[in-house]
Amino acid sequence: MDLYPLGLLEILRAYREGRATVQDYVTSCSGRIAALEPRIQAWEWFDASRAMADAEERAGGILADLPLYGIPVGVKDIINTRGIPTRMGSVIYGNHVPTTSAWVVRRLEALGGLVMGKTVTTEFAFRSPGKTRNPWNPAHTPGGSSSGSAAAVAAGFVPVAIGTQTLGSVIRPAAFCGVVGYKPTHGAISRTGVLPFAPTLDTVGVFARSVADAAWFGACLMGEDFRDEATVVRAAPKLLHVPLEPLAGSPRIAVVKSPKWPLASEAQRQHFVECIMKLQAAGARVREVTLPRLFEGAWENGWAILAHEAVKSFMLIESRHRIRLSPVLMELLDRGRTVTPEQYSRALEKREEYRRWLDRVFEQHEAIATIPAIGEAPESLASTGDSVFNALWTQTGMPAVAIPTGRGPRGLPLGFQVVGRYREDEHALRVAAWCEATLAFSPGLAGG
C-alpha cells in the first residue's frame, strides 16, 4: 500500500503499530514528488537523499515517543532553515543559506519532525507569484503567498506544511487547493527567523488534510519565545487537548457575509448557503450577523497598517535592491510612505474597535462562519487571487480555519471558513471539526 495518502495522525498511528517506518513513509512521499512535482512545482528546494538521511536519523529509539516523530514537513521559503537555501521568492536571496533555523523549525525538529523541503512562496510573501500551479488544474493559481505549502499538502507530497498569513496567505490557498488551513491567533507561533512583512499582522499558520491534523500540528508549534514579543505580550492561546476532542453538542454559529459578499462568485455564495443549511439540519443554531457601519473602512484600514509597517520591514532591502523588486511591491512601499504616523496610530485604534465589536458577537455565538475565498481558484498564474475574505480576521488577530467542502462548476475546490474568538483557538478548531464531520466532504488527493 502506498503510504503518501496517510495524514499526520494516521502515519503516527502506523508507526506506533509497526505498520510503517519513517523510511517507508519518506520513500513513498518522495516517489509521489518525483511523479507530480514537474507539473505542480510546489518546491523551491527539495533533496530526496537528504530527506532520507533525516528519516534514517529518526528511525526508532527515544524519538519515537515525540509528537511529530517522523513527520515530513514542507516549510515556506521565507522561514530560515540552517544549511538549506531560503530564497524568499526573490532573486535577491538566490544564494542565501541561513546558518540558524527559525524558532518554528527548531521546534518541529525537536519534536521529531523533519524538514522535507522548502515550499514556493510569492516574492517576499506578497503578490508577485512564484512558479507553483494548482494541483487540481495547473492552468489555475494555487493561491498565495503560501502557494507551495498548500499545493504540497493537496498533492500528497507531505502530510502537513507551514505557511504564513499577513492578509490571506494561509486560508485562501487552502481553499483553492482543497486542504485545511489554520491561521492561529496572532502571536501563537513565533516569527523569529521568519521574514517580517507587517509585524502586527504576520502570523505563522499550518496546512493539513484534516482539522484534527491541523490542530495537532499547530499545537506542537506553539510556545513562548522572548525574541518574538507577540508570543509574550499577546500570549499564546491555551491549546490543545490532543488529539482534538469532539464538540459536545451542536454549535451556535454567527453567519457573517461582510460587505464584500458580492465579490464572491455565484457558485461560492450558493455553496456557502447550502453548507449553512446542512449545518442547521444537523442541529447548529445559526443566526446571520450584519457588520455595522463601523466596518465600512476596515479593509482600507488593514491595508494602511500593512503598507506602513512594510516600509520599515523592507527598508534595508529596498535601499540596496529597489530596482530588483516587483512593481507591485514597490507600489505598496510607496503607498506606505504616504501613511503618516498619526494615520497609522488611528488605524491601530480602529483595529481595536473592530476586535472589541467582534468579541461581543462571541457572547452569543461560538464561532463565525464565512467564506474563505472568492470561489474556485482563478484561471491565471499571473495573480494568486484576492484576500478580501481573509483580511479582516487577520487584522483583528482572530483564529481562522478553512475546510474543503465541495467543488465548483470547473471541478476545483470550494471551501468554508470558521473564525473563532481571539485567543480561543481550541474551541474554533472544535467547531471547525464539527462542521467538517457534518458536511462530510473528502476531496481526496490532487493529481490522481
Cite the active site residues.
76, 145, 169
Q: Pick the closest to residue 329 from 184, 168, 163, 145 (CA basis).
A: 145
Give the three-class secondary structure for 285: strand
Residues 438 and 377 sit within 8 Å (Cβ to Cβ): no
37-63: b (≥16 Cβ within 10 Å) or e: beebbbbbbbebebbbebbeebeeeee
Does the N-terminal peptide bond of residue 145 adopt cis geometry, omega within 30 degrees of 0? yes
Alpha helix (H) residue ranges in 282-337: 298-313, 315-321, 327-336
Q: Chain-centre distance of CA 51, in angstroms?
A: 23
Q: What is the rounded CA–CA span in Å between residue 441 and residue 423?
A: 28
Q: Chain-centre distance of CA 221, in angstroms?
A: 13
Torsion of CA 311, 317, 318, 323, to 10 degrees: -150
